[in-house]
Amino acid sequence: MKSVVPIVLVASGLMSAAPPKVRQVEVIATDYAFELPHELPPGSTTFHLRNDGKVYHEVAIALLKRGVTIDQLNQAAKEQKPLAPLTDGPVGILFAGPGKRSTTGLATELIAGRQYAVRCAFRDTVTAPRHFEMGMYSVINVRPSKTAPALPRIKADTIVATDYSFRYPRTLSPGRHTLVFRNEGKVQHELNVILPKKGVTFEQMFAVRLSGGNPRALNEEQLGVLVAAAGGAPLGRLDVNLLPGREYRIICLFRDDPKAPPHFELGMYGSIQVTGKPRG
């Protein structure tokens, strides 16, 4: 998988003289539907998730292949078939608990004339249907355009996946950061960013996950997920607000096959400490 629309990354804090305006889109989750625009212009867009429901929800956004419908994607998911052949890549995932709004934004460059699938794949219990099976899905149609939108210049912090570890900044300053993800491995990986409750150890996190428990009980917030195929990058990036003095965890939960260990058991996890003065 490769990114369809590139972005221009810069190492310094200087932005272009006239950076493109970033559109802000609020996705509202209810039990069990989304409220969001069904049509948007192309260009730089940041999505936010607000959960007005009484259960936990996610918003997972992906670029559909031309000619593929959301019903085909949902049917493949119901039949537990691979979804990658039906999309040109994932944008990313945001999460929000009941009555809460994600502190993270999911940013991307919407492509003119294309369709994006918007879904929630959570279950309320192990035996309950997934939320998209209850109607919690939608499609965003991006308007056609004869001109290509300007690409944003981004000061980003890059996290790189290999088989099986992350390369990443061990410390970051408080405040807003843009996290981008790149997979240099030979298998699919994810970047899952978590703010654990104070005092929670990696060992506790791993034990809960491996025992089939509820890992959300150990987290203050799950900030978001970016997924990338081998040698690729997602279409989105995470705009996060890092709290001073806190520790954020990154982890990959994928398995190479159903019988293989999850990647975090192979060493694919890390810790980012937030220190220093807030970013200017």
Q: Which domains does the chain have, with CATH numbers?
A: 21-142 (2.60.40.420), 154-274 (2.60.40.420)
* Angle value at C-alpha 2, between 109 and 187, nearest 5 degrees: 130
Q: Is the peptide bond before 32 cis (omega within 30 degrees of 0)?
A: yes
Strands 43-51 and 23-30, by their bridges, are parallel
Q: If we measure between CA atoms, which residue out of 22, 11, 7 comes closest to residue 182?
A: 7
Query: Is residue 44 a contact partner of residue 20, using CB atoms and an 8 Å limit?
Result: yes
CA 116 → CA 73, 214, 247, distances in Å? 11, 30, 33
Q: How many C-beta atoms lie closer than 10 Å to residue 199's C-beta? A: 7
Q: What confidence score (pLDDT) does residue 148 get?
A: 79
pTM (predicted TM-score): 0.91
Q: What confidence score (pLDDT) does residue 7 get?
A: 52
Q: What confidence score (pLDDT) does residue 12 get?
A: 38
> What is the rounded CA–CA span in Å between residue 29 and residue 36?
9
Q: What is the pLDDT along the chain (280 residues), one digit of tens a residue?
A: 444 444 555 443 444 445 667 899 999 999 999 999 999 999 999 999 999 999 999 999 999 999 999 999 999 999 999 999 999 999 999 999 999 999 999 999 999 999 999 999 999 998 999 999 999 999 999 999 888 777 778 899 999 999 999 999 999 999 999 999 999 999 999 999 999 999 999 999 999 988 988 888 999 999 999 999 999 999 999 999 999 999 999 999 999 999 999 999 999 999 999 998 886 6
Mention every residue, 6+ apart, whose C-beta is less than 8 A from residue 45.
22, 23, 24, 25, 107, 108, 109, 110
Q: What confidence score (pLDDT) does residue 13 get?
A: 41
> What is the rounded CA–CA span in Å between residue 190 and residue 161?
8
Mention every residue, 6+ apart, whose C-beta is less than 8 A from residue 241.
103, 104, 175, 176, 177
Give me the helices (H) in the chain, please.
70-78, 202-210
Q: What confidence score (pLDDT) does residue 248 get?
A: 98
CA 95 → CA 6, 220, 223, distances in Å? 25, 12, 7
Give 213's Cβ-side CA count (13 Å radius).
Answer: 13
Strand order in the sheet with 57-64: 39-40, 137-142, 115-119, 57-64, 87-96, 219-228, 189-196, 247-251, 269-274, 171-172
